[in-house]
Amino acid sequence: MSYHIKTRKAKKLHTKFIFVSGGVISGVGKGVTTSTIAALLQSRGYIVAPVKCDAYLNVDAGTIRPQEHGEVFVTDDGMETDQDLGNYERFLNTDLSKANYVTNGQLYQTIIQKERNFEYDGEDVEVALHVPEEIINRLEQAAKARKADFVICEIGGTVGEYQNILFIEANRIMKYRHGRDTAHVHVGYLPTPPSIGEMKSKPVQNSVKQLISSGIQPDFLIARAETKLDDRRKQTLAWTTNIPVENIISAPNVDSIYRVPANFDKEGLTDQLLRHFELPSKKRDLKNWKKFAEKITRIENSDKVINIAVVGKYFETGDHKLSDVYVSVIEALKHGGWANNAKVNLEWVSSATIEKQGAKKILSGYDGICVPGGFGSRGVEGIISAIEYARKQKIPYLGLCYGMQLATIEFARNVCRLRTAHTTEVEKEARHPIIHIMPDQEKMLLNREYGATMRLGAWDCLVTRGTKAEKAYLRGGWLKAKGAAKISERHRHRYEFNNEYREKLENAGLVISGATPDGQLVEIIELKDHPFFIATQFHPEFKSRPLEPHPLFTEFVRAVIKRK
Ligand code: GLN
């Protein structure tokens, strides 16, 4: 088992590797820290490749239920990933790919395939050796894919778990080989228990000890807490963790994650990271983020507020966080708000409540209605009545994926009088299958091939000339000229608009404002006599960025404000 045990290398690496781990509790901002580090190094002129490493054995996030996992984010090349990739893209204003997402499932799949192909030359294939090597391979591939100066590897979970130990081991091996071409950033939480009323550093000290016992001395500590860390605690932490005090970054709660880059930069993180790697600042360009942070403060403190109802079914299951299931939708709506100098107040409206109490009672106070993506039958009738209400009351409506399919069904039922219109996802033998399964999808479901088999990733769409959708893309600069038509958006679905009903619905006033280049798949629908009623088969939310909001969200909010 010797050939693959590569030893220490003297040569300096071009690409530097930063590992980010979390300690004490989960959910304190490891993803935002990783995104921020990436954005900060980018702002100094470096090319960065963030990589999320998830410990689960799922090959991708596509088969994990949303209540368990949160949002499934989709990249251009069709990978179904953890929501952190969405944050990376939003902070970097860059499209990432499958190279930026690694799971234990992918690692084992590759290793077992290699073993079956006799690529280990008859060796004993071992977890402790071959899995970390495969992780390192992946990180190197991620560097190559973007020709990156920095790979920033976020290790999922918290230190001390069994699950992620091999990622930490990969970090240890990299550090052994490349020394200061690697760095480790630990994100720890300092609680302030109400009964004590004092910020406590012991839990972080312990999580650092845990890391040290896995062979990793962290170089940086991001000290997450309700409030700012005082000097005394910084000193204590430095002294107990061996981390230089300049590398301990105070990270108090903020009202917007987009404020974090400016904050960390001010705390000296970027300078210290570059000093660690003995690299110069090629430029300094954080102006965008600083200006943006000021803008949000101004808007969030103003009284220009619009109330948007997001209607869906996941909204009353146990105690999971909804905001996790629809992060990209929430962010995109906020981006659209900020682009219009308005604060967006989102409320989650459960379709089950609408089914019980009626759309009018529940929705009459809202300025706009959005139906995001979804699957299955639960709550569907409530969503359809919400859409009917938006259509009739001329409340701006934005439908995303399922939100487009159900809007089509509503139109067929209530405008075209096809009372039994449905999607075959809910009613297999629907008399009027307005939405039906795509032919290749049917085969896959019959063979139980669920993983990564939906229509995924970026596909071209031609926007119809003279439509409201075209106007939105033109205004946002995503279409350069009238009639330019071609946009590219991300998808994740198995069902589609049934073309047999196209003529009937169009004759009744439904506008098909976007379709695939071959004209076969309907991608956008809209209504004419309505202030804003646009719904898309794709997920525009995945491409909205704070510094470059998606035009459909911007125009939706604009219509909401106008109507208000
Ligand atoms: N369930 C629908 C489909 O599979 C919509 C999917 C979605 O909203 N992402 O086509």
Say if 1 falls within a structural domain: no
In a shared domain, residues 311 and 280: no
Predicted TM-score (pTM) above 0.85: yes
425 lines ligand 1 (CB under 6 A): yes
Say if 2 falls within a structural domain: no
In a shared domain, residues 222 and 277: yes
Contacts of 240 (CB under 8 A, 6+ apart): 201, 205, 208
In a shared domain, residues 35 and 66: yes
In a shared domain, residues 310 and 284: no
- The residue ranking higher by pLDDT, 337 or 7, is 337
Q: Say if CB 226 and CB 249 are below 8 A apart.
A: no
In a shared domain, residues 490 and 528: yes
The CATH number of residue 197's host domain is 3.40.50.300
Last residue of a domain, one of 259, 290, 321: 290
In a shared domain, residues 389 and 434: yes
pLDDT, tens digit (0-9, with 9 covering 90-100), for 16-61? 999 999 998 888 899 999 999 999 999 999 999 999 999 999 999 9
355 lines ligand 1 (CB under 6 A): no
Residue with CA at minimum distance from ligand 1 atom 5:
402
Residue of 228, 234, 207 lying closest to 218 (CA atoms): 207
In a shared domain, residues 283 and 310: no
Average pLDDT over residues 463-492: 96
Average pLDDT over residues 296-322: 80
Rounded distance between C-alpha atoms, residue 491 and residue 351, angstroms: 24
In the predicted structure, residue 151 carries a pLDDT above the cut 80 = yes
373 lines ligand 1 (CB under 6 A): yes
Say if 326 falls within a structural domain: yes
Last residue of a domain, one of 265, 290, 315: 290
**Phi-psi category of residue 499: left, alpha or beta, with phi > 0 → left and psi -120 to 50 → alpha:** alpha
Structure confidence at residue 93 (pLDDT):
95
401 in active site: yes
Say if 7 falls within a structural domain: no
Contacts of 319 (CB under 8 A, 6+ apart): none
In a shared domain, residues 168 and 226: yes
Q: What percent of the chain has pLDDT over 90?
A: 85
Instruction: Count other Cβ atoms within 10 Å, centred on residue 290.
Output: 14
**Among the ranges given (158-162, 417-421, 430-434), the one the predictor scored with the smallest mean pLDDT:** 158-162
Q: Say if CB 18 and CB 220 are below 8 A apart.
A: no
DSSP 8-class letter at 233: H
Domain residues for the domain of 306 are 302-563
Average pLDDT over residues 272-283: 93
Average pLDDT over residues 340-355: 93
491 in active site: no
Mean pLDDT, all residues of the chain: 93
Number of H helices, E strands in the chain: 21, 21
492 lines ligand 1 (CB under 6 A): yes
Say if 297 falls within a structural domain: no
Rounded distance between C-alpha atoms, residue 387 and residue 403, angstroms: 9
Name residue 158's amino acid. T
Structure confidence at residue 284 (pLDDT):
85
Average pLDDT over residues 482-504: 96
Say if 444 falls within a structural domain: yes
**Ranges assigned E (strand) in 72-229:** 73-74, 80-81, 101-103, 150-155, 182-189, 220-225
In a shared domain, residues 255 and 207: yes
In a shared domain, residues 201 and 312: no
493 lines ligand 1 (CB under 6 A): yes
Dihedrals phi, psi of 236, to nearest 5 degrees? -60, -45
Helices (H), 117-219: 127-146, 165-178, 202-213
Rounded distance between C-alpha atoms, residue 260 and residue 251, angstroms: 8
**Is residue 2 very low, low, confident or very high in pLDDT (cuts 50, 70, 90)?**
very low
**Is residue 324 very low, low, confident or very high in pLDDT (cuts 50, 70, 90)?**
confident
pLDDT, tens digit (0-9, with 9 covering 90-100), for 356-410? 999 999 999 999 999 999 999 999 999 999 999 999 999 999 999 999 999 999 9
**Is residue 271 very low, low, confident or very high in pLDDT (cuts 50, 70, 90)?**
very high
Q: Total structural domains in the chain?
A: 2
Last residue of a domain, one of 269, 290, 311: 290
In the predicted structure, residue 1 carries a pLDDT above the cut 50 = no
Q: Which atom of ligand 1 is the closest one to the Cα of 374?
A: 8
The CATH number of residue 358's host domain is 3.40.50.880
In a shared domain, residues 139 and 20: yes
In a shared domain, residues 269 and 321: no
In the predicted structure, residue 318 carries a pLDDT above the cut 80 = no
Structure confidence at residue 375 (pLDDT):
92
Average pLDDT over residues 263-291: 93
Average pLDDT over residues 464-488: 95
Counting beta carbons within 10 angstroms of the beta carbon of residue 247, is it exposed (0 to 12), middle (13 to 18) or buried (19 or more)? Answer: buried
Ligand 1 centre and the CA of 537: distance in Å? 8
Distance between first and last Cα of the chain: 70
368-371, strands of its sheet edge to edge: 343-350, 305-312, 368-371, 397-400, 533-536, 522-527, 510-515, 455-463, 486-493
Average pLDDT over residues 234-244: 95
- The residue ranking higher by pLDDT, 10 or 257, is 257
**Is residue 67 very low, low, confident or very high in pLDDT (cuts 50, 70, 90)?**
confident
Ligand 1 centre and the CA of 291: distance in Å? 37
